[in-house]
Amino acid sequence: MPNVDQLPRLARYGVSGALSALTHFTLGLTAATILGFPPVPASTTGFVASIAVSYLLQRTWVFHSETGHTVTAPRFLTVTAAAFTLNTVVLWAGAELLGAPFAVVQIVAILLIPGLNYAINSRWTFA
């Protein structure tokens, strides 16, 4: 359980995550439903776009990191690669193997990833 001092940062992280997730979901859904992409490439399109949104907001607004980009960017990309892998596995298993609707499976993936990302980014990426 976070202490009271961490609540404003957690709130900023939530807003940052919501904007990143909205970018991911909206672009992924557009790619799937309008452009006809299969689920995994559609989600990948949205996920890649959300990386820039997430990094900029987290570095400058959420964690107020003064550590240089040469340190934080590779760390952030490492955490992001792990999140991308988890997202891809969930999308592939849910949409491709089980045949669940893209939107439902993507929401499940988006709900799984943020807690892990926060823990790693707060303690390592932007520390």
Q: What is the pLDDT of residues 1-56, one digit of tens each?
A: 567 778 999 999 999 989 998 999 999 999 999 999 999 999 999 988 899 899 99
Question: Could you tell me the residue range of the domain that residue 103 belongs to?
Answer: 4-125
How does 81-98 read in b/e, with b if 16+ C-beta sit within 10 Å? eebbeebbebbbebbeee
Give counts: helices (H), strands (E), the chain. Answer: 4, 0
Distance of alpha carbon 24 from alpha carbon 29, whole angstroms: 8
- Average pLDDT of the chain? 92
Mean pLDDT of 67-87: 93
Task: Give the total number of structural domains in the chain.
Answer: 1
- Residue 106's closest CA among 14, 53, 43? 43
